[in-house]
Amino acid sequence: MRSVGVEEELLLADADSGEPLAVSGAVLAAADRADAAGEGPGEAGEGHTFEAELQEEQVEFATKPVSDMGELQKEIVRWRAEAARHAATAGAVVAALGTSPLPVRPSMSPGHRYDWVARQFGMTAQEQLTCGCHVHVSVASDEEGVAVLDRMRPWLPVLTALSANSPFWQGEDTRYGSYRSRVWNRLPAAGPVDEFGSAARYHAEVGAMVDSGVLRDKGMVWFDARLSATYPTVEVRVADVCLDASTPVLLAALVRGLVETSARSWKAGVAAPRVSTSMLRLASWQAGRSGLDGPLLHPETMRATSPEAAVEALLRHVGDALADSGDEHLARTQAARLLELGNGARVQRELLRSEGDLASVVRHCARRTTDGADRVG
């Protein structure tokens, strides 16, 4: 069975005001001290997985590769709890929010690479305080991986809609479910891409992009889905970080289903669907705009449809792979709950209506980030 890993970026915020805090350095130092004292949650010598991100108001962790979705959820829950424990030493909380609901002037993290990003991308980089969820699924080779990338393209916007958790930006309701996806796609190598057809063409394109000088290295090829530069995996990058720990597990099950379904299709000699990148950009925009509260483009027809119909199409498309991995019940149950109860974007808006201010939204979401493992959102 294919292994799965998840990376989550978490917002660091003041425990009272809800305003973002530039304390990632202190959080990482606390994690290092805990490891040195043998107080980490893992096995001896395992170490923590926390890393700095582009802005000092966020921190990232990665789970270990697993094949069981129950084990994946345990991994996510434990690293969220560890992040919260270390953030508390700096007077902060962690919140699984795709963007900060409250106004913020982000602080770029130190380091040569981030300095280069700041110079090259200017205001786009300075404003880029966004938190995503990346799903890695193992592949047997780069050739299989590129075949998978070519065949999963039209299905990725549905994952954006399911995960949408960033309705607010600089204190305002954006009218988007995933405004993070719109901010992220300002970067030059982000978003949907054309079919590649082969691993050789994929690597040639990536090499040409780096050689252009617009990008510093292969790590800045921020396609919606790409071959990992570090692991033998396909990495899907379209999702917001999700409010509750059960939702990235749903995403992981669906992405693994997409990888397996696409690989089987390739091995059977079935061509990749002929969908233009222009249409995929429309589908991506519509998913970011609507989330689960408005129309989406159907992955098979690229015509407007309901969120329920788009999600059902995805579940049917990967149905055999989900059944074979034992994930069908989990995926259908969690997807149905999301459609009924709402994703993070809907939850945040409902909290603002009931609580009356964005600071309360952040505080509530911070609690839910670590204590809502059984919820959806």
Domain contains 156: yes
Domain contains 282: yes
Residue type, 269: G
Closest CA to 284 of 150, 377, 97, 156: 156
| The pLDDT value given to residue 41 | 66
Low-confidence ranges of the chain (pLDDT < 50): 44, 373-374, 376-377
| The pLDDT value given to residue 48 | 80
| The pLDDT value given to residue 47 | 74
Residue type, 164: A
- Calpha distance 79→8 (Å, rounded): 10
Residue type, 321: A
Structure-token pair, residue 87: 């953030």
User: Which alpha helices (DSSP H) does the chain contain, by range?
Assistant: 24-36, 69-88, 112-121, 123-126, 142-152, 156-163, 179-184, 199-211, 246-267, 277-290, 307-317, 319-325, 328-341, 344-355, 358-371
* Chain center to CA of 51: 16
Domain contains 246: yes
For residues 173 and 349, the answer to whether their CB atoms sit within 8 Å is: yes
Domain contains 90: yes
pLDDT tens digits, 195-222:
999 999 999 999 999 999 999 999 999 9
Number of structural domains, the chain? 1
- Residue appearing with tokens 């130190």: 110
Structure-token pair, residue 7: 């990376």
Query: To the nearest whole percent, how much of the chain has pLDDT over 90?
Result: 93
User: How much of the chain is helix, strand and coil, in % rounded to 5?
Assistant: 50, 15, 35
Domain contains 340: yes
Domain contains 376: no
Domain contains 11: yes
CATH number of the domain to which 361 belongs: 3.30.590.20
| The pLDDT value given to residue 373 | 47
For residues 340 and 211, the answer to whether their CB atoms sit within 8 Å is: no
Sign of CA dihedral 189, 223, 284, 274: positive
Q: Is 163 exposed, middle or buried (0-12, 13-18, 19+ CB in 10 A)?
A: buried
Q: List the beta bridge partners of residue 334.
A: none
- Calpha distance 60→144 (Å, rounded): 28
pLDDT tens digits, 334-344:
999 999 999 99
**DSSP β-ladder status, 233-240 and 132-138:** antiparallel
Domain contains 377: no
**DSSP β-ladder status, 233-240 and 225-227:** antiparallel
Alpha-carbon dihedral angle through residues 326, 330, 331, 333, given to the nearest 10 degrees: 140
- Calpha distance 31→82 (Å, rounded): 8
Q: Under DSSP, is residue 305 helix (H, G, I), strand (E, B) or coil? A: strand
For residues 320 and 338, the answer to whether their CB atoms sit within 8 Å is: no
Residue type, 189: A
| The pLDDT value given to residue 129 | 98
Q: List the beta bridge partners of residue 94.
A: 12
Q: Which domain holds residue 123?
A: 4-371
DSSP string, 301-361: T-SEE-HHHHHHHHHHHTHHHHHHHT-HHHHHHHHHHHHHH--HHHHHHHHHHHH-SHHHH
Structure-token pair, residue 346: 């809907």
| The pLDDT value given to residue 371 | 82
For residues 209 and 221, the answer to whether their CB atoms sit within 8 Å is: yes
